[in-house]
């Protein structure tokens, strides 16, 4: 099976939630006007970013819900948007940390407000002003995600159990982020740490968190199914992350809609970078060491890095790992659901994680 069905499922999900997200944020923008014009504008900027989300996490909330026997699709579409808002909110903080100016093809909030600060001649440093604005807007949107979850149309005790899972994994995500920005900044890092970073700061909250929240909103999850979801999510998360890092260097900017220089400039310790340290020759490793985390990484540096990753066998090695996760993940699907149609979606969506170009 290829990733086409998964792609369609995702497309359908996005079609269903697009207006829910937009209506919610339009309403938040109105409410923000009670405080002032500037926060209301900030919500509008955030809406532009949120509108461009890939929808993977929200789609997994709905899939986890269906897999555990849930049938109220309208309710779950509505509720699932909490994770889409959260994800966009976390990206706002992320973009400040990574000093990125573009995300999903739109200008990042730190960049928008840096320019705005220059325009209104803020007394403080416009860069710092832009960063502070991004962090505050991000904070607001993290709490909007809670508002959505708590207002959802499920039994109160289910919402609370879902909320506990949500809180647990975001705390871990933030810890992963702490580790990531520290280790990205120097090279002295163990394999266990690299894997922990990749898993907690991305894979886990991309796959395990939404699947478990969706399933939990239905009711308790039978132990066998729970175990299978955890295993599937682990494979899904790793495949997702490997492809994410692949697209970070090998992707087309028109597709990924972020600069190809960004990951190298931030010195991200991806599985590619980690394996290159093991598989590269001295010359290749010297280039890697000189370019990672450098302020002025150029596109030519990225092209050279692509070549090195190919020549050293690192590219092949890591992509093979990604596909191995896809194969492993398939094995658990039978224990998640008996429904053949649902099984196909689980499988195809997993494959799609490695086939996606954005």
Long-range contacts of 10-19 (CB under 8 A, 24+ apart): 10/54, 10/55, 10/56, 10/59, 10/349, 10/352, 13/55, 13/58, 13/59, 13/62, 13/77, 14/53, 14/55, 14/59, 16/77, 17/55, 17/58, 17/77, 17/80, 17/81, 17/84, 18/51
Could you give the 3-state DSSP secondary structure of residue 5? helix
Interface residue with its own copies among 176, 214, 322, 329 (CB under 8 A) is 176
Near its own copies in 287-316, by CB under 8 A: 292-294
Distance CA 347, CA 125 (A): 50
Would you say 16 or 206 has its CB closer to its own copies? 206
> Contact 95/110 with Cβ under 8 angstroms?
yes
- 203 forms part of the interface with its own copies (CB under 8 A): no
- Least distance from its own copies to the Cβ atom of residue 178, Å: 4
The values of phi and psi at residue 106, to 5°, are -115, 160
- 286 forms part of the interface with its own copies (CB under 8 A): no
Q: Which stretch binds its own copies (CB under 8 A): 13-21, 53-61, 131-139, 333-341?
A: 131-139
Would you say 73 or 178 has its CB closer to its own copies? 178
Size of the site for its own copies (CB under 8 A): 70
Q: Which two tokens stand for residue 217?
A: 């909103």
> How many Cα atoms within 13 Å fall on the side-chain side of residue 318?
26
Interface residue with its own copies among 48, 101, 132, 317 (CB under 8 A) is 132
Interface residue with its own copies among 8, 146, 343, 354 (CB under 8 A) is 146
- Least distance from its own copies to the Cβ atom of residue 236, Å: 20
Near its own copies in 205-264, by CB under 8 A: none
Q: Which stretch binds its own copies (CB under 8 A): 50-58, 176-184, 317-325, 342-350?
A: 176-184
- Least distance from its own copies to the Cβ atom of residue 30, Å: 12
State how far Cα 208 lies from the chain centre.
Answer: 12
Distance CA 127, CA 112 (A): 10
- 266 forms part of the interface with its own copies (CB under 8 A): yes
Task: Name the nearest CA neighbour of 214 among 348, 358, 56.
Answer: 56
Distance CA 228, CA 333 (A): 7
- Least distance from its own copies to the Cβ atom of residue 308, Å: 19
> Contact 13/31 with Cβ under 8 angstroms?
no
Interface residue with its own copies among 54, 72, 175, 304 (CB under 8 A) is 175
Which CA distances in Å does 167 have to 118, 163, 177, 215, 240?
Answer: 37, 6, 15, 16, 22
State the binding string over 79-118 for its own copies (x if CB under 8 A, else -): -----------x--x--xx-x-----------------x-
Interface residue with its own copies among 164, 224, 299, 310 (CB under 8 A) is 164
Exposed / middle / buried, residue 297 (Cβ in 10 Å: 0-12, 13-18, 19+): buried
Q: Which two tokens stand for residue 119?
A: 């325009």
Interface residue with its own copies among 14, 51, 106, 181 (CB under 8 A) is 181
State the binding string over 11-50 for its own copies (x if CB under 8 A, else -): -----------------x--xx-xxx-xx--x--------
Transcribe 208-222 into DSSP letters.
IHHHHHHHHHHSPPP
Would you say 156 or 340 has its CB closer to its own copies? 156
Where along the sequence are the contacts to its own copies (CB under 8 A)?
28, 31-32, 34-36, 38-39, 42, 90, 93, 96-97, 99, 117, 120-124, 128-129, 131-133, 135-137, 139-140, 142-144, 146-147, 150-151, 155-157, 159-160, 163-164, 166-168, 170-172, 174-179, 181-182, 184-186, 193, 196-197, 200, 266-267, 292-294
């Amino acid at each position: 099976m290829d990733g086409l069905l998964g792609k369609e499922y995702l497309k359908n999900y996005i079609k269903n939630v697009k207006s829910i997200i937009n209506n919610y944020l339009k309403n938040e923008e109105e409410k923000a006007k009670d405080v002032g014009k500037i926060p209301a504008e900030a919500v509008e900027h955030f809406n532009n970013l949120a509108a461009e989300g890939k929808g993977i996490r929200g789609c997994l909330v709905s899939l986890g819900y269906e897999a555990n026997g849930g049938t109220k699709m309208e309710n779950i579409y509505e509720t699932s948007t909490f994770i889409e808002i959260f994800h966009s909110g976390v990206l706002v903080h992320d973009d400040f940390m990574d000093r990125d100016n573009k995300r999903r093809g739109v200008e990042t909030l730190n960049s928008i407000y840096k320019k705005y600060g220059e325009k209104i001649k803020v007394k403080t440093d416009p860069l710092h002003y832009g960063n502070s604005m991004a962090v505050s807007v991000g904070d607001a949107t993290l709490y909007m995600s809670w508002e959505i979850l708590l207002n959802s149309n499920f039994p109160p005790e289910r919402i609370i159990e879902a909320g506990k899972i949500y809180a647990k994994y975001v705390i871990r995500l933030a810890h992963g982020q702490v580790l990531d920005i520290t280790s990205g900044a120097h090279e002295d890092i163990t394999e266990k740490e690299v894997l922990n970073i990749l898993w907690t700061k991305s894979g886990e909250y991309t796959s395990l968190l939404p699947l478990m929240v969706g399933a939990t909103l239905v009711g308790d999850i039978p132990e066998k199914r729970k175990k299978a979801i955890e295993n599937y999510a682990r494979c899904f998360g790793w495949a997702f992350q490997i492809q994410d890092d692949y697209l970070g260097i090998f992707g087309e900017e028109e597709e990924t809609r972020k600069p190809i220089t960004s990951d190298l400039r931030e010195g991200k310790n991806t599985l590619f970078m980690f394996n290159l340290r093991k598989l590269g020759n001295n010359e290749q490793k010297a280039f890697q060491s000189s370019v990672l985390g450098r302020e002025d990484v150029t596109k030519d540096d990225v092209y050279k890095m692509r070549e090195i990753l190919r020549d050293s066998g690192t590219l092949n090695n890591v992509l093979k790992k990604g596909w191995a996760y896809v194969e492993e993940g398939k094995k658990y699907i039978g224990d998640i659901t008996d429904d053949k149609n649902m099984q196909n979606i689980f499988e195809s969506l997993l494959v799609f994680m490695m086939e996606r170009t954005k």
